[in-house]
Structure 1
Amino acid sequence: MNKDSEDIHLNCKILSSDEIDRLKSQDSRLVTEHKSKELEVKAKKYWDLFYKRNETRFFRDRHWTIREFSELLGENNSNHEKVLFEIGCGVGNFIFPLIEEKVNFRFIACDLSPRAIEFVKSNPLYDCSKIDVFQCDITTEEILKRIPGNSVDVVTLIFVLSAIHPDKFLETLSNIWKLIKPGGLVLFRDYGLFDMAQLRFKAGNKISENFYMRQDGTRSYFFSIEFAQTIFEKAGFTVSMTSYVHRRTVNKKENIDVPRIFVQLKAEKLL
């Protein structure tokens, strides 16, 4: 853990000496360069295998998004149907709760995994007249051929950017900036620095600073609010809100009570 990390943690969590030791121990054995390159090349394969194993059972429907992002409900009485683009839609845990709420959006959604897209299309709530869903790698300019520039009102990045290599963060956000209308928004939530999931990684799982490999080959980055704001601003956005969100994962049946840290951000493409 470098000095910058030691300074940042004061804003999100006070680390115990045991937690500091855990972070230091992660540096004793890093993911090899060869393995790191393999994880990047095979990212689509690993996420497809993830959905093959877990199908629609892993993530819960995200009913909390309306509470956290009032912009998703703000224009329900308007006659103008806005366009919402969800990046990394998975099996539809974000989209379908919004459809049930009858929010006034036309939905576009993409995911890296073809299998995830098929699960979206098999959901009883799926309606191709309301949702355009497709497989795509958002880190490439492929998305600019699929969606016209300056055509999207709201983009959501919910636990998605963390799965992308940090070297591609800026390119990804720059692609999104091109798609959004002037005055449009990005709503972002992802894993926060020193979240319990980060602290639990052992030696051999760390790829680079705050970036890790899971056992199934998928990857996860852990954001500070400072870093999140910096990369959005470099991509051309104006950030209007950043915060750490502290929650707990509780499962009384399995006697689990785990503190979680997320980063939440709202960014605008100014007129």
Structure 2
Amino acid sequence: MESVESHVKPDDSGSRILSQEELDKLKDDRVLVSEFKQQKLEKDAQKNWDLFYKRNTTNFFKDRHWTTREFEELKACREFVSQKLVLLEAGCGVGNCIFPLLEEDLNIFVYACDFSPRAVEFVKQNSLYSPERCLAFQCDLTKDDLQDNISAESVDAATLIFVLSAIHPDKMQQALVNLYMVLKPGGVVLFRDYGLYDHAMLRFKSGNKLGENFYVRQDGTRSYFFSKEILTKLFHDAGFETVVNEYVLRETVNKKEGLCVPRVFLQSKFRRPVTLNNQV
């Protein structure tokens, strides 16, 4: 599979324009998963992610070598060259983002946390893991776990890459407030996640819908698909200010099978304000 620049025409907001067939599919998909099952999915969320990593180990996601290209803050937010950057990878998985960064940048310390204890163990077992340069720990971002491991206002930047979408919408803002508390004033959250009308959203069959733009996969893990407006409100209500918040349109091409599917992501940067009157 190869990802290329999209030829899909965006609408006025920058997202993709749906075909009539796609619009009809979304309109007709009104049946929600029962309240009982939804409560069970929330209760079993950690177990389901742990089972995901048990099945896939470290083989599911590719290493993310694109982060420093897309987020120049990982290099540019230092006042001098030898300054150590303190980074939080919120939702680190098995380390596909942090280990390329640790290899590339010697002046970086990474806090790496994940909801899944099994994922954290995979991070610690990696040959590149060093307690002098990285602290990995299990954490529920929607609770107060972060400050059990990280001092308030001590982090220069936090990455939130395909993580917020897996959290129940009712708990997303609390997760962002918790990130806000460990960031230094002026610190940034570097965000990438699923955008509204991404191909993955349109692939869900009837019976997988949990709520507006919120779905459950066959393995019990869940995914939310963000509009720019919803994401902006979530971050602003948590005290952040927007640096950039844009849709990224891609087409994933499988030349062998002749398939071309439209991908929609949101790539964004939100800053904790320096001024006191903007704090939560």
Question: Following TM superposition, by how much is the alpha carbon of 1:234 offset from its aligned partner in structure 2, in angstroms?
Answer: 0.5
Q: Deviations over 1:237-263 (max 9, x none)?
A: 111111000112233344442210000
Shift of 1:79: 2.0
2:41 aligned partner: 39
SS at match of 1:73: helix
- Counterpart residue number, 1:133: 136
- Secondary structure in 1 matching 2:223: strand
Q: CA deviation at 1:219?
A: 0.2
Asked whether the equivalents of residues 9 and 193 of structure 1 are also in contact (C-alpha less than 8 Å), the reply is no
SS in 2 for 1:129: coil
CA RMSD of aligned residues (A): 1.6
**Pairing 1:92–2:116 present:** no
Please report how far the alpha carbon of residue 24 of structure 1 lies from its aligned counterpart in structure 2 after TM superposition: 1.7
Distance in 2 of aligned mates of 1:77 and 1:267: 23
**Which string of whole-angstrom CA distances, capped at 9 and with x for unpartnered residues, describes residues 17-71 of structure 1?**
10011112321x2111011111111100000000000111111111111111011
TM (norm. structure 1) is 0.93
Contact 2:16 2:249 in 1 (8 A): no
Equivalence for 2:62:
60
Structure 2 unaligned runs (5+)? 1-9, 275-280
* Residue 161 of structure 1: aligned partner: 164
Q: Which amino acid aligns with 1:64?
A: W
1:133–1:259 CA distance, 2 compared to 1 (3 A) = same
| Residues 76 and 103 in structure 1, CA contact (< 8 A), matched pair in contact too | no
Q: CA deviation at 1:103?
A: 5.3
| 2:105 alignment partner, SS class | coil
Q: Which runs of 5+ in 1 are unaligned?
A: 1-7
8 Å Cα contact 1:9-1:194 kept in structure 2: no
Matches within 5 A, 1:1-271: 10-11=12-13, 12-27=15-30, 29-74=31-76, 75=78, 78-102=81-105, 104-271=107-274
Counterparts of 1:207 and 1:9, CA distance in 2: 26
Q: Percent identity?
A: 56
Query: Structure 1 residues 76, 202: closer, same or farther in 2, change over 3 A?
Result: farther
TM-score after normalising by structure 2: 0.90
